[in-house]
Amino acid sequence: MGSSEKNILQTLAYSDIFDYPLSQEEIWRFLILKEKISKKEFKTDIKNISKKIILKNNLYCLNGREQIIDKRIKREKESLIKIKIAQKIASIFSVIPTIYLIGVSGALAMKNSDKNDDIDLFIIVKKGKLWVTRIILLIFLEISGNRRKREDKNVSNKICLNMFIDEHAIKMPKERQNLYSAHEVVQMLPLFQGNNMYSKFINVNKPWIEKFLPNSFEHVTTQNTTQNYSESFFGLVLRKVLFNSAFEYLSKKIQMRSIKKHQTIETVSDQFLAFHPLEYRDVVIKEYNQRLKEYKIL
C-alpha cells in the first residue's frame, strides 16, 4: 500500500470517529499528510483502495461502516435548523463592540449534529475584555432561555459558549497544536467578524495546521462575513459599560466564583477560556489510534 493510499485510509478512520463519511473533495481537503501530493496522484490512489472502502451517494467510508452515510444525510437536515438559530444569536451578539469573531465550532460546523445536540460558539474578543463580554452574553442567554446550563438534561439547540479567546491569544498554544485542534480550526463556520479577525485567526494558526492538514486551507474562505458593528442606542450604551475597566474586574470576580465550584481540567485564564475539557481531545486521539489498528492502517 502506497503512502498516500495509507493517508486516505487514515483520513477516513479519523472522520469515522464522528460517524462522518466524506466526499472525495472532503477527503482531499482533510487528507492527513506530512507532505503535499498532487491531486492526480490522490485520485489514482483512491481508486487503488476501492476494495477497502465503501462508496455510496458520492460519500466514502471504511468497510462495514456504510450505515453512517444515511446518518450524515439525516444530520445535515437537523444541522441546518441549528445553524439558523446560531446565525440569529450571532446577529444579536454582533452589536457588542468588544466581539471580533463569532463562529460555530464542533460537529455543527460540519453539519453533523444530532437533533438533541447543543450549539457550540467560538468567540474572539478585544484585548482585556474577555470577562465582561462573556457575562453580558451569559445574561442575555439566560434571559432569553437559550443558555445551556451544566445541569440541563435537554440541551437541544441551547447555546454553549464553548471557547472565548482574547485577540492577543489567537494562536493556539503548543499543547493544543494537534490533529484534533487542526480540524477544529479549519472546520469552524464563521458567522460574524470585525477587525478582519477571522483572517487573522486563520493566518496565525496556518503554519502548524499545515503539518497535519496541508490541503485544508484550499477551501477556507475569509470573505462574506459581517464586518459592521451596530451604532444603535443599545450598542452605544454597551460600549460605555464594556470599556470601563472596573466592569472587567467585577465580571471576572463573579464568574470565577462559579467556575471554581465545578472546575476540573478546563482552561481558564484572562486570555483563554475553554470549557470543553482537554480529555475529550485525548479520547478522540485514542479512538483514532484504535481504528488505525483495527483496520491495519498503521
Q: Is residue 61 a contact partner of residue 54, using CB atoms and an 8 Å limit?
A: yes
Residue-wise pLDDT tens digits, 72-126: 999 999 999 999 999 999 999 998 989 999 999 999 999 999 999 999 999 999 9
Position 221 scores a pLDDT of 62
Q: Where are the domains of the chain?
A: 3-70+284-294, 76-277
Shared fold status for 3-70+284-294 and 76-277: no
Position 36 scores a pLDDT of 82
Residue-wise pLDDT tens digits, 229-250: 556 666 666 777 777 788 999 9
Give the predicted TM-score (pTM) of the model. 0.91
- Collect all residues with Cβ–Cβ distance below 8 Å to 45 and sequence separation of at least 6: 2, 4, 5, 8
Position 235 scores a pLDDT of 63
Degrees (nearest 5) of the Cα angle 72, 24, 31?
100
Cα–Cα distance list, 223 to 18, 38, 226, 274 (Å): 28, 27, 9, 26
Q: What percent of the chain is modeled with pLDDT above 90?
A: 74
In this structure, how many other beta carbons lie within 10 angstroms of the beta carbon of residue 290? 12
Question: C-alpha cell of 1?
Answer: 500500500
Q: Spell out a b/e string for 172-183, using b for 16 or more CB atoms within 10 Å of the CB, else e.
A: beeebbbbbbbb
Burial label, 64 (beta-carbon count in 10 A; 0-12, 13-18, 19+): exposed
- Collect all residues with Cβ–Cβ distance below 8 Å to 20 and sequence separation of at least 6: 68, 72, 110, 112
Q: Is residue 222 a contact partner of residue 189, using CB atoms and an 8 Å limit?
A: no
Instruction: Return the CATH number of 76-277, one of 3.30.460.10, 3.40.1360.10, 3.40.640.10, 3.40.190.10.
Output: 3.30.460.10
Q: Does domain 3-70+284-294 bear CATH number 3.40.50? A: no
Degrees (nearest 5) of the Cα angle 220, 69, 72?
55
Q: Is residue 216 a contact partner of residue 182, using CB atoms and an 8 Å limit?
A: yes
Amino acid letter at 44? T
The average confidence (pLDDT) of the chain is 90
Task: Answer yes or no: is pLDDT of 226 > 60.
Answer: no
Q: What is the dihedral of CA 261, 266, 272, 273, to 10 degrees?
A: -60
Q: Kind and range of the H or E element at 63?
A: none
In order, the DSSP letters of 128-149 are: T-HHHHHHHHHHHHHHHT-B--
